[in-house]
Copies of this chain bind each other. A is one copy, B any other.
Amino acid sequence: MAGFDVSNPDWKTAVEASFARQGFMSLIGAVLEEAPAGSCRIRLPFRPDLCQQHGFFHGGLIGTLADNAGGFAAASLVAAGVEVLTVEYKLNIIAPGEGDALVAVGTVIKNGRSLIITRVDVFSERAGEQTLCAIAQQTIMPLAAVRVAR
């Protein structure tokens, strides 16, 4: 896992800029944390309006964080100007999303030319202690030219 070839020397700036342009990340209050190339860590502090009917983080947000942590882990390895699209992901929720925050950690497993494969762990954090909440496996496609909506 260590020693990924970085294609874009400015990958950190590129990943941060891309994350910052995601309106949905602002809406939910997700924060991109420092992480080495080939990985990504995203934190989502608890808010009542992020919950499902029993007061836990909504499963859709566990999936959102997993998808994004894997996607930006992949994005850190592509050449300048190349974007990444999620082809698919699969998420197992293994404990309720509860506590002070969710933390998703994505790692590139295979940095292929046409497809990038990642694994993601999502933890729930309470008073600094982490519990594994979900695991995911994801397929990402790097794309040189991405269409923009509208």
Which residues of A are at the interface with B, using a C-beta cutoff of 8 A? 18-19, 21-24, 26-28, 48-56, 58-61, 63-65, 67-68, 71, 83, 85-96, 98, 109-110, 112, 114-115, 117, 119, 132, 135-137, 139, 141, 146-150
The answer to whether A135 touches B117 (Cβ under 8 A) is yes
The answer to whether A68 touches B64 (Cβ under 8 A) is no
Q: Which residues of B have CB within 8 Å of A89?
A: 63, 90-91
Bound CA–CA A112/B87 (angstroms)? 12
Residue ID in chain B nearest A149 by CB atoms: B55
Bound CA–CA A45/B129 (angstroms)? 37
User: Contacts A27-B27, A51-B24, A61-B64: A56 and B149 contacting too (C-beta < 8 A)?
Assistant: yes
